[in-house]
């Protein structure tokens, strides 16, 4: 993971929550990824961006 923001250190669980690494959000992103691959099987070989900051699942092929 990389970030362009710097600042105060946070305890691990707080940082995970802040950056959206929660079970619900990760599952939501994975469901989006799986649906994309089901619709476009060749996409499994592409790079996917899972670190979008919005609340909806978004899988972006690079």
- For 10-62, the pLDDT digits (tens) are 788 888 888 878 899 889 889 989 999 999 999 889 888 776 655 444 455 55
Helical H runs in the chain?
12-18, 23-39
Q: Which among 53, 51, 26 is positioned nearest to 62, based on CA atoms?
A: 51
What was the pLDDT predicted at 57? 44
What was the pLDDT predicted at 49? 79
Q: Is 19 helix (H, G, I), strand (E, B) or coil?
A: coil
Domain boundaries, the chain: 21-61
What was the pLDDT predicted at 10? 76
pTM: 0.58
């Amino acid at each position: 993971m990389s970030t362009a923001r710097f600042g105060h250190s946070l305890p691990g669980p707080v940082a995970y929550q802040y950056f959206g690494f929660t079970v619900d959000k990760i599952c939501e992103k994975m469901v989006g990824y799986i649906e994309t691959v089901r619709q476009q099987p060749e996409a499994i070989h592409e790079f996917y961006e899972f670190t979008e900051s919005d609340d909806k699942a978004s899988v972006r092929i690079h």
